[in-house]
Amino acid sequence: MSNQTTPSAGQLPGYITSAVPNPKANRAPWYKNTAPTYAGIFLWFVFWQGATTTQAGFLGGTLAQGVGPALLGLLLSAVICHFLFYLVPGLFGMKTGLPLYIVGTSTFGAQGGFLMPGFLMGVLQFGWLGVNIYFSSLALSAMIPIKAEIIMVVWGLLAAFVGLKGIQYVAKVATYLPLIPLFTLIWLFAKTAGSIGSFEPAKMVAAQLALAPTAPPSLAGIGVIAAVMTYVVGFFATAGAAGVDFGQNSRDKNDVSMGGLVGVALAILVTAGLSILVVAGVYGSPEMSAKAIAAGTEKKGFILDTFNLIPVVLGPDMGKWVMFLLALAAFPPGCFSSFIAANSFKTTLPQVNPFISVGIGAAVSIMLAVTGYAGKVIPVFVIIGASFGPICGAMMVDYLLNGGKWSGPRAGFNPAGWIAWAAGFVVGILPNLGVNVPAAPVLAFVVGAVVFFLCAKMGLQSAVVPVSGALAEATK
């Protein structure tokens, strides 16, 4: 499907014509940018603490059928995140040297790319920054004599500033602070490893049922695997699409591949895997299990996440200090959100000073945190994050159909991309409408990929707009 007349470069908006590919001289090895920055996201305690819980509160969480199904679900999630959600965007970025919001115009069109994945990605990241500010500041204020609201302002401004400076600064921050949660997970594992073999899911489920008699029944093995995949892939979906931005800072295919294998796949397995084993170890020990049940009774809720089991494993005094340090270590993920948002606004709003656009976004993030709204909107962000499944699926097919190259921007709103996204998005939100769709973010990816392929074969794509200069080189 193309226009009656051949489109010209004059039809392209300014954010595309002003784009300049990142030169090879500015790029760095995978272990200096991609891997540490991605790993910092997964070391965020908000991620790994949720590996054993489910949004609906099913009895036993992801450990209802034992450690095996949970770890299998995690392994599948790591493979999916690397090979399906990250790798093609990363290669797109490496080959073109261009950010997501330019590369995405081949899938969604020169006009459509401004909104999807361009501007929406930036707006979404400031929402995630608000969540980061909120929970981190609350944890910090429990240990230092400063009001949480003041910490929120300082935390948000610092994260926005580092993100605005660029990935090299985000990577520097992410190089050392993530060692805190990594050390914490290893320490917790060492204290609980001896009782993992004694873990009996039925006993844990019975203890939870006594505290929560109205909780939904336990998931079967397949349900556990799907729940883990839904959680991990849904969490990673937007960061996967942002692989384009990481790729533009990679020197070659090996940097792209190694950055994802270590920073994404391995980081998922290590962080969430250790978290799963720690919870199993706690409930496999009669002594720690009794303490965990007592702590849950006091909080009026069964404790299934690693973060809130820290005082049980390490003792209340040491536990609160470790939780304080974990809050400090949550700074790199905040910087990551700011970096992605800054890239979005720099590209889609090139005439606006990035300090102004990012500053406004950071102010909104801080307001969401200070007013408490950021603590209530996580389900909304999960929905939007899962909607990036069809974006990644459509981009992958776009890449393959064009022989592993970027076709260049397409005119207007490319129908194939938008139809594929709409179909995948509908699938992605079905669970929130009461329809049981296992591993919805993964299925949304598949639907987006299949629908884009069918639309492309049916000719439902707008014409490629001829480009010249640096943009033309990016298509080779």
> What pLDDT sits at residue 337?
82
CA pair distance 51, 273, nearest whole angstrom? 8
CA pair distance 77, 81, nearest whole angstrom? 6
> What pLDDT sits at residue 178?
77
Place of tokens 């007013």: 371
Q: What are phi and psi of 328, to 5 degrees?
A: -60, -40
CA pair distance 293, 278, nearest whole angstrom? 15
Residues 77, 80, 82, 83, Cα dihedral to 10°: 160
pLDDT bucket at 417, cuts 50 / 70 / 90: very high
Ramachandran assignment for 164, one of left (phi > 0), alpha (psi -120 to 50 degrees), beta (any other): alpha
The mean pLDDT of 379-400, rounded to a whole number, is 85
With 90 as the cut, is the pLDDT of residue 248 above it?
Answer: yes
Instruction: Report whether 109 contacts 417 (CB < 8 A).
Output: yes
Q: How many CB atoms lie within 10 A of CB 296?
A: 21
The most confident of 40-54, 72-86, 349-363, by mean pLDDT: 72-86
Q: What is the pLDDT of residues 252-305, one digit of tens each?
A: 999 999 999 999 999 999 999 999 999 999 999 999 999 999 999 988 889 999
> What pLDDT sits at residue 172?
67
The most confident of 6-10, 242-246, 262-266, 298-302, by mean pLDDT: 262-266
The most confident of 34-43, 97-106, 195-204, by mean pLDDT: 195-204
Whole-number average pLDDT of the chain: 89
CA pair distance 171, 178, nearest whole angstrom? 11
Residues 177, 382, 445, 435, Cα dihedral to 10°: 150
The mean pLDDT of 134-163, rounded to a whole number, is 88
- CATH code of 27-377, in short, is 1.10.4160.10
Q: How many CB atoms lie within 10 A of CB 383?
A: 16
CA pair distance 136, 323, nearest whole angstrom? 10
Q: Which of 107-116, 152-161, 419-428, 430-439 has the lowest mean pLDDT?
A: 430-439
> What pLDDT sits at residue 169?
64
CA pair distance 349, 14, nearest whole angstrom? 9
pLDDT above 70 as % of the chain: 94
Q: How many CB atoms lie within 10 A of CB 316?
A: 11
- Side-chain-side CA neighbours of 386 within 13 Å: the count stands at 30
Q: Which of 10-24, 253-267, 302-316 has the lowest mean pLDDT?
A: 10-24
> What pLDDT sits at residue 2?
43
Between 342 and 468, the more confident residue is 468
- Side-chain-side CA neighbours of 360 within 13 Å: the count stands at 8
With 60 as the cut, is the pLDDT of residue 3 above it?
Answer: no
> What pLDDT sits at residue 266?
98
Q: What is the pLDDT of residues 74-86, one digit of tens each?
A: 999 999 999 999 9
